[in-house]
Structure 1
Amino acid sequence: MCQGSARPVPARPVGGRLTKITFAVAALIAIGVTALLWSRAAWTQSEGGAAGAEVVRVVRRDIAYVVKATGIVKPRVGAEVNVGSRVSGEVKRLYVRIGDRVNKGQLLAELDARDLIARRDEATAALQQADVNLSYAQTDLQRKRALGAAGVLSRSDLDLAERAVAVAEQQVTAAQASLAYATTQVAYTRIVAPIAGVVASVSTEEGETVAASFEAPTFVTLLDLSRLEVWGYVDETDIGRIRVGQKARFTVDTYSDHEFEGRVTAVYPKAEILDNVVNYVTVVRFEPPHDRTLRPEMTTTVRIALDTRENVLALPIRALRREGDRSFVLSRRGDAIERRLVTTGSRDESYWEIVDGLREGDQVLIGDVKNEVVIDDRAARDQ
Structure 2
Amino acid sequence: MKTFLILTAIVATAAGGALAWQQYGASTPQVHYRTTPVERGDLIVGVSATGTLQPEEVVDVGAQVVGRVKEFGLDPNTPESTSREKRIDYGSMVEEGTVLARIDDMVYVAQRNQAKAALARANADLIQLQARREQADAEWKRAQRLRELSVDSISPTAKARSGGPAIKIRGISDSDYVLAKSNFEVAVANVAVGEAAVAQAQSSLDLAETNLGFTIIKSPVKGTIIDRRVNIGQTVVSSLNAPSLFLIAKDLTRMQVWASVNEADIGVLKVGLPVSFTVDAFPDEVFRGAVEQVRLNASMTQNVVTYTVVVAVDNSNMRLLPYLTANVQFEVSKAADVLNISNAALRYQPSKNTMAPQNASRPQEEDNGATKPTGTVWVQQGETLKPIEVQLGTTDGARTEISAPELAEGMQIVEGELSVDEIADVKNPFGPPQFGRTRAR
TM-score (normalised: structure 2): 0.55
Contact kept? 2:72, 2:100, Cα under 8 Å: yes
Distance of 1:368 and 1:212 partners within structure 2: 71
- What secondary structure sits across from 1:118 in the alignment? helix
- What secondary structure sits across from 2:286 in the alignment? coil
Q: Following TM superposition, by how much is the alpha carbon of 1:318 offset from its aligned partner in structure 2, in angstroms?
A: 3.3
Distance of 1:178 and 1:104 partners within structure 2: 29
Q: Does 1:129 align with 2:121?
A: yes
For residue 98 of structure 2, what is the aligned residue in structure 1? 106
For residue 69 of structure 1, what is the aligned residue in structure 2? 49
Q: Does 1:262 align with 2:290?
A: yes
Contact kept? 2:374, 2:391, Cα under 8 Å: yes
For residue 277 of structure 2, what is the aligned residue in structure 1? 250
Q: Report sequence identity in percent.
A: 27
Q: Following TM superposition, by how much is the alpha carbon of 1:65 offset from its aligned partner in structure 2, in angstroms?
A: 2.5
Contact kept? 1:88, 1:210, Cα under 8 Å: yes
Alignment-mate amino acid for residue 164 of structure 1: N
Distance of 2:69 and 2:36 partners within structure 1: 76
TM-score (normalised: structure 1): 0.62
Give the direction of change, closer, same or farther, for the CA distance of 1:238–1:113 in structure 2 (3 Å limit). Answer: same
Give the direction of change, closer, same or farther, for the CA distance of 1:219–1:237 in structure 2 (3 Å limit). Answer: closer
Contact kept? 2:37, 2:341, Cα under 8 Å: no
Point out the structure with max Rg over C-alpha: 2
For residue 271 of structure 1, what is the aligned residue in structure 2? 299
Give the direction of change, closer, same or farther, for the CA distance of 1:188–1:223 in structure 2 (3 Å limit). Answer: same
For residue 232 of structure 1, what is the aligned residue in structure 2? 259
The 5 A counterparts of 1:73-88 are 73-75=53-55, 79=58, 81=60, 83-88=61-66
Task: Number of aligned residue pairs: give it.
Answer: 294
Alignment-mate amino acid for residue 286 of structure 1: A
Distance of 2:193 and 2:229 partners within structure 1: 49
Contact kept? 1:316, 1:352, Cα under 8 Å: yes
The 5 A counterparts of 1:360-371 are 367=411
- Of stretches 168-177 and 242-251 in structure 1, the one that deviates more from structure 2 is 242-251
Distance of 2:316 and 2:336 partners within structure 1: 34
Distance of 2:297 and 2:226 partners within structure 1: 33
Structure 2: give runs of 5+ residues left out of the alignment.
1-34, 74-87, 146-176, 347-364, 368-372, 377-387, 414-441
Contact kept? 2:91, 2:224, Cα under 8 Å: no
Distance of 1:238 and 1:197 partners within structure 2: 36
Deviation string, structure 1 residues 12-34 (Cα, Å, up to 9, x no partner): xxxxxxxxxxxxxxxxxxxxxxx
The 5 A counterparts of 1:186-225 are 186-195=212-221, 196-205=223-232, 207-224=233-250
Distance of 2:410 and 2:271 partners within structure 1: 39
- Of stretches 285-294 and 214-223 in structure 1, the one that deviates more from structure 2 is 214-223
Q: Following TM superposition, by how much is the alpha carbon of 1:214 offset from its aligned partner in structure 2, in angstroms?
A: 4.4
Give the direction of change, closer, same or farther, for the CA distance of 1:225–1:281 in structure 2 (3 Å limit). Answer: farther
Contact kept? 1:269, 1:280, Cα under 8 Å: no
Q: Does 1:185 align with 2:208?
A: no
Q: Following TM superposition, by how much is the alpha carbon of 1:185 offset from its aligned partner in structure 2, in angstroms?
A: 1.3
Contact kept? 1:109, 1:190, Cα under 8 Å: yes
Distance of 1:123 and 1:188 partners within structure 2: 17
Alignment-mate amino acid for residue 53 of structure 2: V
Q: Following TM superposition, by how much is the alpha carbon of 1:91 offset from its aligned partner in structure 2, in angstroms?
A: 2.7
Distance of 1:344 and 1:146 partners within structure 2: 111
Give the direction of change, closer, same or farther, for the CA distance of 1:233–1:290 in structure 2 (3 Å limit). Answer: same
Alignment-mate amino acid for residue 137 of structure 1: L
Give the direction of change, closer, same or farther, for the CA distance of 1:189–1:136 in structure 2 (3 Å limit). Answer: same
Contact kept? 2:47, 2:329, Cα under 8 Å: yes
Distance of 1:87 and 1:174 partners within structure 2: 22
Give the direction of change, closer, same or farther, for the CA distance of 1:328–1:218 in structure 2 (3 Å limit). Answer: closer
For residue 381 of structure 1, what is the aligned residue in structure 2? none
Give the direction of change, closer, same or farther, for the CA distance of 1:116–1:149 in structure 2 (3 Å limit). Answer: same
Structure 1: give runs of 5+ residues left out of the alignment.
1-51, 330-339, 370-383
Alignment-mate amino acid for residue 70 of structure 2: K
Alignment-mate amino acid for residue 93 of structure 1: E
For residue 93 of structure 1, what is the aligned residue in structure 2? 71
Deviation string, structure 1 residues 148-185 (Cα, Å, up to 9, x no partner): 34416622112101111110111011101100111011
RMSD, aligned α-carbons: 4.1
Distance of 2:91 and 2:318 partners within structure 1: 16
The 5 A counterparts of 1:260-299 are 260-273=288-301, 276=302, 278-299=304-325
Alignment-mate amino acid for residue 172 of structure 1: V
The 5 A counterparts of 1:137-156 are 137-142=129-134, 144-150=136-142, 151=144, 154-156=180-182
Contact kept? 2:112, 2:205, Cα under 8 Å: yes
Q: Following TM superposition, by how much is the alpha carbon of 1:140 offset from its aligned partner in structure 2, in angstroms?
A: 4.0
Distance of 1:285 and 1:55 partners within structure 2: 34
Q: Following TM superposition, by how much is the alpha carbon of 1:198 offset from its aligned partner in structure 2, in angstroms?
A: 1.8
Q: Following TM superposition, by how much is the alpha carbon of 1:353 offset from its aligned partner in structure 2, in angstroms?
A: 10
Alignment-mate amino acid for residue 255 of structure 1: F
Deviation string, structure 1 residues 43-85 (Cα, Å, up to 9, x no partner): xxxxxxxxx999999x9x8x75211112222355x6152x343
